Amino acid sequence: MMKLMVHALGAWFAVEAASGRYPRPVAVGLTMLVARLGAPATALAMAGYGLLRLKEAGAFERQRPPTRRRRKVNQD
């Protein structure tokens, strides 16, 4: 269980670093740390970054249904 938490935390840091939240020197250090954690953290980081990009693109926003236009009736 502890291993999973460490990998998830490392992946979260990697996603935050990839999104540009941290300055470049800090992001490089975090990326090197996550690279040392191995494949599970890398897979979680890639999935997290993909979800972040989808969220930024509006994939999870609810779209409003199109409103129907009514024709004006001439009352002469």
Of all helices (H) and strands (E), which one includes residue 65? none
Q: Which domain holds residue 32?
A: 2-56
In a domain, 64, yes or no: no
Three-class SS state of 61: coil
d(CA 39, CA 35): 8
Neighbours of 43 (CB within 10 A): 12
Q: What pLDDT shows up at residue 56?
A: 86
Tell me, yes or no, whether 19 lies in a domain.
Answer: yes
Count up the domains in the chain and report the number. 1
User: pLDDT at position 29, please?
Assistant: 79
76 belongs to a structural domain: no
**Higher-pLDDT residue of 24, 1:** 24
Residue 73 lies in a domain: no
- Residue 23: pLDDT band (50, 70, 90) is confident
Residue 62 lies in a domain: no
Cα 18 from chain centroid?
A: 10
For residue 20, being part of any structural domain is answered with yes
Predicted local confidence at residue 76, as pLDDT: 58
